[in-house]
Amino acid sequence: MPLKLPHLSPRMENVSPFRVMTVMRRAAELEAEGHKVVHMEVGEPDFATALPIVEAAKRALEKGLTKYTSAPGIAELREAIANRYKLNHGVSIDPNRVLITPGASGGLSLLANMLVSPGDGVLLTDPAYPCVRNFIYMLSAEPQLIPVSIVNNFQPTLEELDLYRNRNSRGLWLASPSNPTGTILERQRLQEICDWTQCNRLHLLVDEIYHGLEYVDDLPSVLELDSSAFVVNSFSKYYGMTGWRLGWIIVPDEYVETANILAQNLFISPPSIAQYAALAAFTNEAEVIFEERRDAFRQRRDYLSRALRELGFQLSNNIQGAFYIYANISKFSEDSEEFCKNLLDYHQVAITPGTDFGEHKAKEFVRMAFTTSMQDLELGVERITKALC
């Protein structure tokens, strides 16, 4: 980091690059040299955006719907999202509480600005999605990392929350399903956590970006259990709209006005064509496609988790959602970065070291994404098998 630059804010010292980017660059080099690389590093579905959405985008272009929309997004889309919560979760959400954002990144940025001040502490799990930690550093606040472990499904227990909470703590940010671990907060535990945050007067923010991509019967939204919670969600994963940059947040009634002001300032408006296109995500036609894809992800998960266990990787009993397996490699290596580098350089399999997601046992873990075809996953497993010989 070029810390001696005259104008660089000292906060930038803590904002870390994603190690997965180095993996991706090296993979691209190997491909340029003619190698076939198996990509298990990327947090992006391999499927193209579903046709009904693409067609809706074309229609929006033809209608010239290319102007700014209102800052929190078009009313139809906010209503469609609110309806979806009624349908999937049985909760009534006023569409005014739904703000469309430029990706979940935009949503996280807005909520961070609204809820966090310099010197505040925010409780996070370690491991977690690295952006979250960095957003908190950007606000000159302190990520208060709770080491979570495989035995507790990589989610915090109430005892751990009590232990890591201090007088600076202002909020608790969790993810269910979680990136990188693929685990969820089951209803009972999530309810206990809601009660704990209310009792401790902390705000509760839940990243539900991987909702829809769950392989369990019951995945509650935090809004079923706690109407004072803040939610971040996205059209990128289940809805397969990564490059469109569209997400949403849901805030309690009392925060709607401030959230709107922040949306005006931070974004002016979410991308217009993407919003009109996303309306098609709520059609039956699109739903059928999404559910087929979820089935494909589930089959890949079944295959990859079984294969990795057989090879001696240690993983959660149950990858309940998202498209990641967070696997312990201590049987093979003491250094996940070196492990990943070797696997890529000598066997052309790209995976992400645990060090991208925190510090706790990060050298013992790697993240493998099943965002590639079954055929490629089989090739990947074959190569990993060879690498471990």
Using CB under 8 A as the binding rule, the residues of this chain from 19 to 48 that contact a second copy are 21, 44, 48
Exposed e or buried b per residue across 275-306, where buried means at least 16 C-beta atoms within 10 angstroms of its C-beta: bbbbbbbbeeebeebbeebbebbbebbeebbe
The answer to whether the beta carbons of residues 182 and 316 sit under 8 Å apart is: yes
What are the CA-CA distances from residue 300 to residues 47, 252, 375, 376 (Å)? 14, 37, 10, 10
- Tell which positions 155-184 bind a second copy, by CB under 8 A: 170-171
Q: Is residue 227 part of the contact set for a second copy (CB under 8 A)?
A: no
| Least distance from a second copy to the Cβ atom of residue 62, Å | 8
The answer to whether the beta carbons of residues 220 and 255 sit under 8 Å apart is: no
Of residues 266 and 379, the one with the C-beta less far from a second copy: 266
Q: What is the greatest pairwise CA distance in the chain?
A: 59
| Least distance from a second copy to the Cβ atom of residue 67, Å | 5
Candidates 67, 87, 159, 188: give the one binding a second copy (CB under 8 A).
Answer: 67
- Tell which positions 298-337 bind a second copy, by CB under 8 A: none
Of residues 125 and 305, the one with the C-beta less far from a second copy: 125
Q: Is residue 69 part of the contact set for a second copy (CB under 8 A)?
A: yes
Q: Which stretch binds a second copy (CB under 8 A): 33-41, 100-108, 209-217, 290-298?
A: 100-108
In terms of DSSP bridges, do strands 142-147 and 169-175 run parallel, antiparallel, or are they unpaired? unpaired
Contacts of residue 134, Cβ cutoff 8 Å, sequence gap at least 6: 14, 15, 16
| Least distance from a second copy to the Cβ atom of residue 274, Å | 7
Size, binding site for a second copy by CB under 8 A:
75
Q: Give the contact letters, 259-298, x = binds to a second copy (CB under 8 A), - = no.
A: -xxx-xxxxxxxxxxx------------------------
User: In this structure, what is the dihedral angle of CA atoms 34, 39, 45, 48, given to the nearest 10 degrees?
Assistant: 10
| Least distance from a second copy to the Cβ atom of residue 352, Å | 14
